[in-house]
Structure formats: C-alpha cells, structure tokens
C-alpha cells in the first residue's frame, strides 16, 4: 500500500507543479493514474486565508492552484443568485436578515470581508454569474445549491446561467453541482443531464446501504460525505457503486493526510496547501 501512496503522491506533485511524472505517460497507465489524482477543492474559496465565498477567496483558491473552487448558491428576494453559505447574512456580513428576504441591491451594499479581517473591508457578496464569468475555464467550479427548499426555481436558474455560457456540455468546463437536498439534485440532473452531480451526506449517512448508494448513483456521480464518516470500506463501496467521493471539510494537515490515505478522489479543504504539499510526497 505504501507504494500506492507514493505513486499517488508522485502524480499529485506533478499535477500541483503543472507537470506529469514520466511513468504516468504510458498507455492505459495514464488514465488509471490520472483518475487517481487527488483533487484539491478550495472550500468556499481558500476560506482559511480569505473571507469565505468572496471573490478574494475564489481568487486565492485559483492562485493556490486548487483544482476546484467550491461555492454556496442561494437566491435573493428578487430572484438573483448570490454566493453565501448561511441562510442569513448575519455571520459573514455587516448586515442582518434572511438571504431570501433581501433584494440583490440590498445584498450588494453589505460588507462581506470585514468580519474576517480589516484588509478585506468592502468585499461584496458575489453574484453567481460573476463567479462563473471570472473563473470558468480557469479552474473547476463545485457549485453547492444551498437550502434549495427555501428557493423554489433555483435549480432552473442555475441551469439557465450555465446554458447561457455553454457550460452544460460534457468536458467543456469542469463543473459539478451538489446539494444536501437530494430531490433537488434529481431535478437538477434532469435539467442538466450532461453535468456531473453530487449528493452531500452528513454524519447521519454513516450507515448508508448499498441500495441507497445504487439509488444515488442513478442520478449522481459523486457521494460527498462529512469526512468523519469516511472509512476505507465506504470509499470502496462508493467506487463500486460507480461514484467518486469528495469528503468535506479538512481544516488541518492531519485531516488531509488521513483522507489522502483513505483513497478518496478529492479533499474539500479551507487550506489548499494541505493537499498538494502532502507529506507522503516526501517518502
């Protein structure tokens, strides 16, 4: 197994440096090893370094060479898609109130950076299309539809924005859509059949059955669990069901190391440097 980790590490180093190791260049080995590359997903942007879900955090994730930036999409009172995690603006802005009860104009008046550090004063709550237009083609985008039960029609609006930009085609853009609301993902998959989808799974899914995994696999490409429920057996069962796994959320080097060794497909982290500077690289 140690050799496998070393191989994974070698491929990871190559990817992080924008190069491919020589042994990954040969025939069928190439695709197998590329599949094994550990995806580095900047959670809410590089949110350990910059205020979550702001353009500054997404830019930081891009500069740190994350494979994907992850973001949370919600909808304002007047139907605009905005990027914010909580269903209220209280924690991450200088305002108060529910996202769904504020207009886009009201949201844009808020300071979404000062709570994190004075250096980020004036950061705004981004719109969904602003992030798409800034980063499409530059890095992968993991789109979480947050609390879609509060925002009827949000799946259609997400689909519309992607289609307008021709981002709904296979292999055209690195786009994945995920949600804790699995009915929403079924609906979104129907709207965007060529876009990979993921089901998010909290701690309550620790005992997920093979039947449930098969049902998820009928519309999802990823089973993305809370990292605390990930075991080697679960990783294996998810792979056998035909899905990949990006567990969330690693915040320490030790957590990233642990997930790396469990053979997951990607690590959702606040600190992208924990994934591509994995210590196994030094073995």
Catalytic residues: 43, 85
Can you name the residues that pair with 73 across neighbouring β-strands? 83, 145
Q: CA 84 to CA 267: how far, in whole Å?
A: 21
Interface with ligand G3P (CB under 6 A), residue from 67, 123, 144, 265 = 144
Measured CA distances, 58 to 100, 142, 283 (Å): 23, 11, 31
Nearer of residues 10 and 128 to ligand G3P, judged by Cβ: 128
26-45: contacts with ligand G3P (CB under 6 A): 43
Nearer to ligand G3P, 149 or 210 (CB): 149
Does 248 help bind ligand G3P (rule: CB under 6 A)? yes
User: 241 or 245, CB closer to ligand G3P?
Assistant: 245
User: Helix or strand or coil: residue 150?
Assistant: helix
Distance CA 244, CA 140 (A): 16
Residue 268 binds ligand G3P (CB under 6 A): yes
Radius of gyration of the chain (CA): 19
Is 88 a residue that touches ligand G3P (CB under 6 A)? no
User: How far apart (Å, rounded) are the C-alpha atoms in residues 51 and 93?
Assistant: 10
Interface of this chain with ligand G3P, residues 96 to 125, rule: CB under 6 A: none
Nearer to ligand G3P, 42 or 110 (CB): 42
Closest CA to 99 of 83, 113, 111, 112: 83
Interface with ligand G3P includes 253 (CB under 6 A)? no
How far apart are the C-alpha atoms of 28 and 50, rounded to whole Å?
Answer: 40
Site residues (vs ligand G3P, CB under 6 A): 43, 70, 72, 85, 144, 200, 224, 248-249, 268
């Amino acid at each position: 197994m140690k050799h496998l980790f070393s191989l994974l590490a070698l491929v990871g180093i190559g990817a992080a440096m924008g190069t491919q190791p020589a042994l990954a260049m040969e025939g069928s080995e190439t695709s197998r090893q590329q599949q094994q590359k550990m995806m580095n997903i900047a959670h809410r942007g590089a949110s350990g370094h910059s205020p979550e879900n702001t353009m500054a955090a997404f830019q930081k994730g891009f500069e740190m060479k994350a494979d994907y930036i992850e973001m949370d999409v919600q909808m304002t009172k007047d139907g605009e898609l905005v990027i914010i995690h909580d269903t209220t603006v209280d924690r991450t802005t200088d305002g108060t109130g529910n996202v769904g009860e504020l207009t886009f104009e009201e949201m844009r008046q808020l300071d979404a950076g000062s709570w994190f550090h004075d250096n980020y004063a004036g950061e705004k709550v981004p719109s969904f299309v602003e992030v798409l237009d800034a980063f499409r083609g530059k890095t992968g985008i993991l789109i979480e539809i947050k609390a879609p039960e509060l925002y009827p029609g949000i799946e259609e609006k997400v689909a519309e924005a992607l289609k307008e930009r021709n981002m709904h085609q296979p292999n055209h853009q690195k786009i994945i859509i995920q949600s804790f609301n699995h009915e929403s993902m079924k609906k979104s998959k129907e709207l965007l059949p060529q876009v990979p989808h993921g089901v998010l799974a909290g701690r309550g899914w620790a005992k997920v059955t093979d039947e449930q995994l098969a049902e998820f696999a009928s519309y999802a490409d990823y089973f993305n669990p809370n990292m605390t429920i990930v075991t080697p057996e679960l990783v294996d069962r998810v792979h056998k069901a035909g899905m990949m796994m990006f567990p969330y959320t690693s915040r320490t080097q030790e957590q990233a190391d642990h997930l790396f060794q469990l053979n997951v497909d990607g690590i959702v982290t606040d600190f992208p440097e924990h994934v591509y500077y994995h210590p196994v690289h030094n073995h």
